[in-house]
Chains A and B, each alone.
Chain A
Amino acid sequence: MISVKGLHKTFHNARGSVEVLKGIDAEIADGEKVVIIGPSGSGKSTFLRCMNLLETPTLGHIIFDGQDITKKGTDIDKVRMQMGMVFQQFDLFPHMTVEENITLAPVMLKKESKEEARAHAYDLLKMVGLEDKAGSYPKQLSGGQQQRVAIVRALAMNPKMMLFDEPTSALDPEMVGEVLNVMERLADEGMTMAVVTHEMGFAKEVANRVLFVDGGQILEESTPDEFFSHPRNPRAQDFLSKILNT
């Protein structure tokens, strides 16, 4: 589905430059669920955001569905239509109702007629248990509800793959479960997923593979069973001991 080769990313600011990604190679196959974990500032979100070019890689290649999307002249909008993304802060459009949030892109990009998009939105909202919220504005919803709508908004484009950037980190603890449930369901239905998260339970239950990122590199790559019981890399061991003790 997607393969990342030699990915480097350097940010430039007034005080100089910071190399956030120092050569990342990874591959995610069709239907695979990959969880990316690591300490904060490790570059894991940047890695994810490079996959749909929200961040432009400094070096390296990203091949999505057989197409090198880092090549000049790539129609990135076309690529992003097939790659849904869910953000930490939900980022729903506050001036639109839930239904308008969901139907905007499919209708504007001529994937569906207004009626089709509306019916599709209703089906998806039903799947996440929010069919009665179609006419509400985002601010009238709880964080968990907003994030479920954000997932639906991405799914409305029928993407081939979904990227999740710490989808539960901004939620109150009691709302984390409802969002993870939706993601688990999506995983069960065979969606290809790349998830940056601190939810180790989710990683254990759902992931096919765990990538441990620190210092802009993938330090360990293994199945969740192996990773959580026998981490090989010392920094991974250190990281796990810290988060599993709290």
Chain B
Amino acid sequence: MNRSLSDRLYDALIYKDRWHYITNGLEYTIIITICALIIGLILGSMSAIVKTAYQNNKRNPGLAILNFIVSIYLTVIRGTPTVVQLMIMYFIIWQSGTSLEVAIAAFGINSGAYLAEVLRSGIQSVDRGQMEAGRSLGLSYPQTMWKIILPQAFKNVAPAIFNEFITLLKETSVAGYVGIQELTKGGDIIRSITYDAVPPLLIVALIYLVIVIGLTQILRVIERRLAQSDLR
């Protein structure tokens, strides 16, 4: 193993166009992350709304049932490993789904459970008077929620949502378990071809790191934008 670093990099990336494993893998990683985040935000918002609505009106039987379902969802998802959920989805629940569909669904459902708590605390951080002001104008509960409460809730918990985004990005590295050649799997394939673990795995790690640093920078910009209405 006295080969020069450039030779090893050449073997890992250039020879036989092996860099395709990395770029194709990155594409899958990004697709899964973004689609799962969107699903997660939708499921998380719905769960958070159910939980807050139930807390404010415990005597409504419909809400009680919904709240029960949401509680089970959160408990099961947060109480089991993501990889296990992914495999259960692939091998048991949705056998007819493609690897990509299954991965998006599994990661989406998973992050929805974590975002639910984040968004619930966001909704509760909005002053009670906001709901009353909206309702007093004749807006319905869903209208007030959508136009008045949720925008403020999202803003209040934007950093936490972004953290979930970053976590999700890294968690997709286990999608190889259901046969998706995402970034990590791509690097691993190169390793198994070249018998040299160092270049591909370090490159994979570096790419995750760069994306996360980039996302963190974007978060700063978003936070500054959102703070616009706070300026005096």
The answer to whether A228 has its CB under 8 Å from any CB of chain B is no
Query: Within the assembled complex, what's the spacing in Å between the Cα atoms of A92 and B155?
Result: 16
Residues B231 and A139 in contact, CB atoms below 8 Å apart: yes
A54 interface neighbour in B130, B136, B139, B229, Cβ under 8 Å: B136
Q: List A contacts of B134 (CB < 8 A).
A: 93
A77 interface neighbour in B132, B138, B155, B231, Cβ under 8 Å: B138
Chain B residues numbered 93-143 whose CB sits less than 8 Å from any CB in chain A: 127, 129-130, 132-140, 143
The answer to whether A85 has its CB under 8 Å from any CB of chain B is yes
Q: A52, A91, A104, A154 — which one has the most chain B CB atoms within 10 A of its CB?
A: A91
Chain B residues numbered 142-156 whose CB sits less than 8 Å from any CB in chain A: 143, 147-148, 151-152, 155
Q: List A contacts of B137 (CB < 8 A).
A: 80-81, 84, 104-105, 109, 153-154, 157
Residues A54 and B135 in contact, CB atoms below 8 Å apart: yes
Query: Within the assembled complex, what's the spacing in Å between the Cα atoms of A157 and B230?
Result: 27
Residues B148 and A139 in contact, CB atoms below 8 Å apart: no
The answer to whether B232 has its CB under 8 Å from any CB of chain A is yes
Chain A residues numbered 89-145 whose CB sits less than 8 Å from any CB in chain B: 89, 91-96, 104-105, 108-109, 137-140
Residues B133 and A139 in contact, CB atoms below 8 Å apart: no
**Contacts A80-B138, A108-B147 known; A94 to B133 CB distance under 8 Å?**
no
Q: List B contacts of A202 (CB < 8 A).
A: none
Q: List A contacts of B231 (CB < 8 A).
A: 137, 139-140
Residues B229 and A137 in contact, CB atoms below 8 Å apart: yes
Q: B134, B138, B152, B228 — which one has the most chain A CB atoms within 10 A of its CB?
A: B138
Residues of A at the B interface (CB closer than 8 Å) are 52, 54, 77-85, 87, 89, 91-96, 104-105, 108-109, 137-140, 150, 153-154, 157
Q: Closest 10 A-B residue pairs measured CB to CB?
A: A81-B138, A91-B133, A91-B129, A105-B137, A85-B136, A137-B229, A80-B138, A77-B138, A95-B151, A77-B140
Further pairs besides A104-B139, A137-B228, A137-B229: 19, Cβ < 8 Å? A52-B136, A54-B136, A80-B136, A81-B138, A85-B136, A87-B129, A87-B132, A87-B133, A89-B129, A92-B133, A94-B229, A104-B147, A105-B137, A108-B139, A109-B138, A109-B139, A153-B137, A154-B137, A157-B138
